Amino acid sequence: MLSRVFVPLFVWGAIASSLIGCVVNPVTGKSQISLMSPEQEVATGAKNYVPAQQSQGGQYVVDPGLTTYVQQVGKKLAAVSDRPDLPYEFVVLNNDVPNAWAMPGGKLAINRGLLVYLEDEAQLAAVMGHEIVHAAARHGAQQQTQNVLMGAGVLLAGVAIAEKKPEYGALGMGALAVGSQAWQAKYGRDHELESDAVGMKYMIKAGYDPQAAVELQEIFVKLSEGRNAGFIEGLFASHPPSQERVNKNRALAAKHPGGVRNKAAFQRAMAQVNKDKKAYENYQKAQKLAGEKKYIDAMTYVEQSIAQQPKENLFWEMKGQLLLQQDKTNEAVTALNRAVDANPKYFKPYVFRGIAYNQLGKQDMAEKDLLTSTRYLPTQIAAYYLGEVNMAKGNRSQAAQYYQQAAQGGGDIGEAAKGKLGKLQ
């Protein structure tokens, strides 16, 4: 979660005078002021890339071949970009929300939920080329600098803040309210038009048909007019579509007809995701029902999802959470074991399994899982339960430290942690 730190304007003036320098935009060739050097951009991306992935579903692992395919397309475009030497990385996130983003330093991601709206490799290249421009043209650094100069403050990657009660019943990503939202600036009109135009230039240089970029914007405009909630929450929040973008893309594409589409290759790469479409639809229904506290109905749908795709860690994780809701703790551990086995590098199942172990009185196992989760992504709820575990083990000083961490997050968990601290004094 991104939090704002507000500092008086005269203080920012002093900071700006000492920190801001002129750099050349590698895409436009123009000089611009910036709070971040190119080296700082790379360091920022490297530091925040993994936490950003964790906070948004983790990597999609059911079919690693899809990620390999996306990486091949991304690298082809990065090689013809204005900053080919950036340490580019590309991942597919296991997230139903249609979105894609780029962090400073060339760290990019595209959600499974956006890929299902694309028809061929050229349209994928349109998405990836656009995001590569955001990194190559230093748009994230420009946005941060503008925020500071306007007195809005610096956007900092925050530590997880939860708004739910400290119970194992918290369901879904929002319940954990994890932070570090990938430096997703809400780009303005100029940045978006620049990324469209230059991204199409990269597409052409890489041999793709730029008409795909026109089609992509047409899809986005149509979906935005239909007020598709997923897109409004995801892609449209940071990349507002418009008919102007469609028209400008169309004019540019008309000057460069031809190029590959690679539809068959794209469909092969997407075969597993498309095959599992119904499973993810049932999972989304289960999430909705769980949010309405209709846990038995939610379990019916998540069981269907598991039957359709037993390799998906998200399905097993939700089953584990639903079982915890029904006080079936041992069964919950079994389901969460499957979630961890399916994707051992995702923080969330460790949180809930740690909570389950705590309920079972297995404090050492609970502590191991909760600490593992924090290595991937620190969360307020994990800090709270680490306090609980250490209290049960008699480590009052260590428990107090964890409760203090949880208290800083505010919300119901923060209040519960303060209550625990009060009893320790």
pTM here?
A: 0.85
pLDDT tier, 267 (very low <50, low <70, confident <90, very high otherwise): very high
Evaluate whether residue 162 is within a structural domain. Answer: no
In this predicted structure, the answer to whether residue 255 has a pLDDT above a threshold of 60 is yes
Within a domain: 167: no
Interval 100-127: pLDDT, tens? 999 889 999 999 999 999 999 999 999 9
51 and 6 in a single domain? The answer is: yes
Q: Are residues 251 and 300 in the same domain?
A: no
Query: Is 113 within a domain?
Result: yes
265 and 292 in a single domain? The answer is no
pLDDT of residue 192: 83
The full length of the chain comes to: 425
Q: How many separate domains does the chain show? A: 2
Q: Counting beta carbons within 10 angstroms of the beta carbon of residue 82, is it exposed (0 to 12), middle (13 to 18) or buried (19 or more)?
A: middle
| Burial degree of 423 (CB within 10 A; 0-12, 13-18, 19+) | exposed
The pLDDT of residue 146 is 55
190-229 pLDDT, tens digit per residue, is 778 888 999 999 999 999 999 999 999 998 888 877 666 5
> Is 175 within the bounds of a domain?
no
Give the residue among 345, 380, 344, 383 at the shortest CA–CA distance from 367: 383
Residue 410 forms part of a structural domain: yes
Q: Taking the CA of residue 62 as centre, how many other CA atoms within 13 Å lie in the half-sphere pointing to its CB?
A: 26
User: Burial level of 173, CB count in 10 A (0-12/13-18/19+)?
Assistant: middle
Mean pLDDT of 46-72: 96
Tell me, yes or no, whether 172 lies in a domain.
Answer: no
User: Quick one: 411 and 309 in the same domain?
Assistant: yes
Whether residues 238 and 193 share a domain: the answer is yes
Contact status, residue 166 vs residue 381, Cβ threshold 8 Å: yes
Q: What does the H/E/C string look like for the chain? A: CEEEECCCHHHHHHHHHHHCEEEECCCCCCEEEECCCHHHHHHHHHHHHHHHHHCCCCECCCCHHHHHHHHHHHHHHHCCCCCCCCCCEEEEECCCCCCEEEECCCEEEEEHHHHCCCCCHHHHHHHHHHHHHHHHCCHHHHHHHHHHHCCCCEEEECCCCCCCCCCCCCCHHHHHCCCCCCCCCCCCHHHHHHHHHHHHHHHHHCCECCHHHHHHHHHHHHHHHCCCHHHHHCHHHHCCCCHHHHHHHHHHHHCCCCCECCHHHHHHHCHHHHHCHHHHHHHHHHHHHHHCCCHHHHHHHHHHHHHHCCCCHHHHHHHHHHHHHCCCHHHHHHHHHHHHHHCCCCHHHHHHHHHHHHHCCCHHHHHHHHHHHHHHCCCHHHHHHHHHHHHHCCCHHHHHHHHHHHHCCCHHHHHHHHHHHHHHC
What count of other Cβ atoms lies within 10 Å of the Cβ of residue 318? Answer: 26
Residue 157 clears pLDDT 50, i.e. is over it: no
Domain edge (last residue) among 269, 296, 324: 269
Instruction: Tell me which of 228, 246, 269 is where a domain ends.
Output: 269
Residue 314 is part of which domain span? 276-424
Q: Could you tell me the pLDDT band of residue 188, with boundaries at 50, 70 and 90?
A: low
255 and 314 inside one domain: no
Q: Between these two residues, 140 and 196, which has the higher pLDDT value?
A: 196
Average pLDDT, the chain: 84
Domain endpoint, select from 216, 234, 269: 269
258: number of Cβ within 10 Å? 10
Q: Judge if 127 and 264 occupy the same domain.
A: yes
Within this chain, do residues 83 and 27 fall inside the same structural domain, yes or no? yes
Q: Which residue has the higher pLDDT, 210 or 163?
A: 210
Burial label for 166, CB within 10 Å (0-12, 13-18, 19+), is: buried
pLDDT attached to residue 221: 87
For 345-370, write each residue's pLDDT tens digit.
Answer: 999 999 999 999 999 999 999 999 99
Q: Using CA atoms, how far apart are residues 395 and 387, in angstroms rounded to an integer? A: 9
pLDDT at 240 (0 to 100): 74
Q: Which pair of structure tokens corresponds to residue 106? A: 């060339």
Same-domain status, 9 and 148? yes
CA distance 2 to 185: 10
Question: Quick check: is 390 in a domain?
Answer: yes
Statement to judge: residues 143 and 290 lie in one domain: no
Say whether both 15 and 46 belong to one domain: yes
Q: Checking phi first, is residue 151 left (phi over 0); if not, alpha (psi -120 to 50) or beta?
A: left
255 burial (CB, 10 Å; 0-12 / 13-18 / 19+) is: exposed
Q: Is 375:405 a contact under the CB 8 Å cutoff?
A: no
Same structural domain, 329 and 352: yes
Report how far residue 188's alpha carbon sits from residue 186's, in angstroms, rounded to the nearest whole number.
7
Instruction: Please indicate, yes or no, if residue 164 is contained in any of the structural domains.
Output: no
CATH number for 289: 1.25.40.10
Q: How far apart are CA 219 and CA 217, in angstroms?
A: 5
With tokens 């656009």, the residue in question is 130
Residue 348 CA to residue 172 CA, distance in Å, equals 10
Taking the CB of residue 244, how many other CB atoms lie within 10 A of it? 14
